[in-house]
Structure 1
Amino acid sequence: MNAETKTNVQGRQLVVALVILGAMFFAIGFALGINSYLIPLLKSQLGISSAESYLVLGATFSAFLIFGYPASFVIAKIGYKRTMALSFLLFAVGFYLYIPSGKLESLPLFLIASFISGMGNTFLQASVNPYVTILGPIESAARRMSFMGIMNKLAWPVPPLFLSIVIGKSVDAVSFADTSLPFIIIIGLFLLLGIVALISPLPEVKAVGEDEDEAEDCPYAANKTSIWQFPHLLLGILALFFYVGVETIALGTMVDYAESLQLMNPEIYAWISPVGMVIGYLAGIIFIPKYVSQSSALVTSAIVAIVGSILVVLTPADISIFFVGLIALGCALMWPAIWPLAMTDLGKFTKQGGSLMVISIVGGALFPILYGYIKDVAGAQNAYWLAVPLFGYILYYALKGHKIRV
């Protein structure tokens, strides 16, 4: 086989891998998007506060804190593909528990179901994100992650619409009894994805210098003895922690924010943030790395997000919801850019580094709850002030933090 033929085969294999991984990123977004439907449903059916309803997000994302780092040992033991398949099984168990949770009208059982679903999300994120990052050249990782981001964010608004279509009612008219059939359908689809992951042709991949006999290929990591000796990674974990928190607010609060503003058909506003993010992802695909570096893209994204956050708070309430889409536009390239910037030069610590990065997704548990408390005290619009300092730190990481080496 000549070199050109070999390159073509590798190209086809890459396309197949990206398609399969894209489906998995869609599943991640779909699973998280279910929360945006559950939050107003729990408020209306259980008569609880905004802060209490946002506990479902807290339960989902707290799983990342507990299982994020152990996921690296699971991946090392059974490989990326089997870890992906395991994650879909966990998803199915969590979604099944939503059915008795509704019948019993039990918030604690809803939280348990969300936690188990979060476990599935943890193992899936811990496997697919490092996988996409090291699947090709690190310089173009943000471009590949942007492709994945489109699939992920397009999935966020699908659950509210899917549930509304299957149930045949708007979210403000739904009862728990109406949700059993759609969740049975969702369980079947996720089990099917688990089977696809298990039998897929995805190859096992490793980062440069990850094998002990190739340590010289990554000299920065070769003499390190601990994952905690990589300051650019640790600062990147904090950046990702802030980012996931504020992105979850931008994506997960849309239906609730529309209801707070007393807008008709609030579920249709769930599309605003994903559309903003998709526009940002498309820009990343076009411009990174040919015209814009990953770090420069992160600088621009942080500035756009800061401006969007301020406009949400300061503009009239009836149009402020559309500026949440500007926040989302700024968020779009943060995940694709932070991952490769933080994962560069980890060598043999790549799997551990990826799992630590996944732990930072717990930001999606803490900051939406904090948003809920601020909303209860100061109103939904003023609650978006929370985003400004978080994006400020991400701007620091883009300008300086990712460059720090010891």
Structure 2
Amino acid sequence: MAAPIASAGPAVGRTAAATAQEQGRYRPALSLLASLFFMWGFITVINNTLLPHLRSVFDLDYTQTTLIESVWFIAYFVASIPAAKLIARVGYQRALVIGLGIMAAGTFGMVLASREVSYAITLTALFVIASGITLLQVAANPYVAVVGPAESASARLNLVQAFNSLGTTLAPLFGGYLILGRSTSGNAAAGTVLTPAERLADAQSVQLPYLIVAAVLIVLAVVIARFPLPAIGGEAGAAPAKAGGAGGSPGGSLWRHRNLVFGVPAIFIYLIAEIGVSNLFISFVSQPEIGDLTHTQASHYLFLLWGGMMIGRFVGSYLMQSRPAEAVLAGAAVGACAVMLVAAFTTGPLAMWALISVGLFHAIMFPTIFTLGIRGLGPLTEKGAGLLIMAIAGGSLVVVQGWAADRFGLQHSFLITAACELYVLFYAVWGCRAPRAA
């Protein structure tokens, strides 16, 4: 999220020297916040190794499997406005601690689900975890926004998001070893049917990894609760996820800002693409005509997909120091569409590596669309940012790709992803242009 949020607070009119001094004061806090970006990326991507595991345990089709991830992203839509109201009441620091506590409660729910071998409890626990992550997103993004000038906002957010990508890169190795590597389904050939005893044993294999995650979340919550996190922008006014019109506000209506109006669906549609690729990746590369791998082996290649996103964010941050963010976004959209067409119409290693490479192009999309979407909003920045955060719920429509995979084949379902990249290209070329008078 970009620095214009700061324009609504007491930061207006700071000199360059004061700004530099304040950046130094916030650096320890931002270093701590980087751990939050890491953790929510880590936990989100554990789902990518969890889904093929649950597909075997509960004998699910692709539609039912992707419904699990849909429930995860529905939480972004449901929880974002309550999260904003909570932040306005208790402040950023307490909200971060509460968010981590909610996530820890959800991870304990996953342990319960594994003991009961319950699909319903699994969905509920994942919804709780995602609600906690939503609270962290709504609180952490505006906090990061005050640390630098508006012109470097996209570069700065891409850099911070690289820590999120570090978490997403390491998560497949963690999940591959402690979930898939310790289960029968994770080491079996594609299409193997498990016995009831094997399903029970596989279901219980998630207990250790989620207990480890719960312990880390609790420790992190204690650290943040005791850390002298600086207050920003008069925290009473921090409500970044409030949505709706702003006809009576000093900045006029949100809907007059084309970059926001087209940016909300850009975030929504991009999330369909990113989540569809990551959720179906292991199933795709495990197919005999693609990679002919076990799920455990495939999780190692998922590591490369998310590692590509981490590298892409560092590269994108560097490129945006000298190039317009929208130009870099357009190039990424063209590259992503091209490799998705290759993945959809070829077979063997070419298709597999095409799908892996899309991570490089997806890397900059979310943070860049986000900062372009709130560019020029002035006092409406907080409300506009809230709409963009709610748009993360687009990931819930991954179930549509699951439905397409069941009816038209998993490989051809990635044409949906290619279509999503075209909208991102449209946004980069035309939709993100903010009116000069805004």
TM-score under structure 1 length normalisation: 0.89
**CA displacement, residues 343-396 of structure 1 (integer Å, 9 cap, x when unaligned):** 123333333222211111111111x21121111122222111001221111111
- Pairing of 1:4-403 with structure 2 (within 5 A): 9-166=21-178, 169=182, 172-173=186-187, 175-206=202-233, 223-260=250-287, 261=290, 262-264=292-294, 265-289=297-321, 291-366=322-397, 368-403=398-433
- Go from structure 1 to structure 2 and tell me whether the alpha carbon gap of 1:8 and 1:175 turns closer, same or farther (over 3 Å shift): same
Contact 2:19 2:148 in 1 (8 A): no
Q: Secondary structure at the match of 1:303?
A: helix
Q: Which runs of 5+ in 1 are unaligned?
A: 212-219
Greater alpha carbon shift after TM alignment, 169-178 vs 264-273: 169-178
In 2, distance between residues paired with 1:343 and 1:5? 26
How many pairs are equivalent?
392
In 2, distance between residues paired with 1:69 and 1:279? 33
In 2, distance between residues paired with 1:110 and 1:325? 28
TM-score under structure 2 length normalisation: 0.83
Contact 1:272 1:322 in 2 (8 A): no
Aligned to 1:215: none
Contact 1:250 1:273 in 2 (8 A): no
Q: Which amino acid aligns with 1:187?
A: A
Q: Secondary structure at the match of 1:253?
A: helix
- Go from structure 1 to structure 2 and tell me whether the alpha carbon gap of 1:4 and 1:271 turns closer, same or farther (over 3 Å shift): same
- What is the aligned-residue identity percentage? 26
Q: Secondary structure at the match of 2:91?
A: helix
TM-fit CA distance, 1:5: 8.7
Q: Secondary structure at the match of 2:262?
A: helix
**CA displacement, residues 24-73 of structure 1 (integer Å, 9 cap, x when unaligned):** 11111111112112211111111111211122211110011112233222
In 1, distance between residues paired with 2:134 and 2:122? 18
TM-fit CA distance, 1:157: 4.1
TM-fit CA distance, 1:237: 1.0
Q: Secondary structure at the match of 1:58?
A: helix
Q: Which runs of 5+ in 2 are unaligned?
A: 1-14, 188-200, 239-246
Q: Which amino acid aligns with 2:208?
A: L
Q: More helix per residue: 1 or 2?
A: 1
TM-fit CA distance, 1:74: 2.1
Q: Secondary structure at the match of 1:54?
A: helix
Contact 1:243 1:334 in 2 (8 A): yes
Aligned to 1:216: none
- Go from structure 1 to structure 2 and tell me whether the alpha carbon gap of 1:4 and 1:293 turns closer, same or farther (over 3 Å shift): closer
Q: Which amino acid aligns with 1:69?
A: I
Q: Which amino acid aligns with 1:158?
A: L
- Go from structure 1 to structure 2 and tell me whether the alpha carbon gap of 1:158 and 1:306 turns closer, same or farther (over 3 Å shift): same
Contact 2:176 2:300 in 1 (8 A): no
Contact 1:72 1:352 in 2 (8 A): no
In 1, distance between residues paired with 2:388 and 2:17? 37
**CA displacement, residues 189-232 of structure 1 (integer Å, 9 cap, x when unaligned):** 0112222333334323349xx89xxxxxxxx9963355444332
In 1, distance between residues paired with 2:81 and 2:261? 14
In 2, distance between residues paired with 1:227 and 1:96? 40
Q: Which amino acid aligns with 1:101?
A: A
Contact 1:134 1:141 in 2 (8 A): no
Greater alpha carbon shift after TM alignment, 30-39 vs 276-285: 276-285
TM-fit CA distance, 1:272: 2.3
Q: Secondary structure at the match of 2:206?
A: helix
In 1, distance between residues paired with 2:345 and 2:86? 47
Contact 1:277 1:329 in 2 (8 A): yes
Q: Which amino acid aligns with 1:337?
A: T
Contact 1:83 1:124 in 2 (8 A): yes
In 1, distance between residues paired with 2:176 and 2:325? 39
In 2, distance between residues paired with 1:344 and 1:206? 18
In 2, distance between residues paired with 1:205 and 1:234? 28
In 1, distance between residues paired with 2:388 and 2:16? 37
In 2, distance between residues paired with 1:184 and 1:145? 31
Contact 1:21 1:128 in 2 (8 A): yes
TM-fit CA distance, 1:318: 3.2
In 1, distance between residues paired with 2:205 and 2:387? 39
In 1, distance between residues paired with 2:156 and 2:34? 10
Contact 1:21 1:148 in 2 (8 A): no
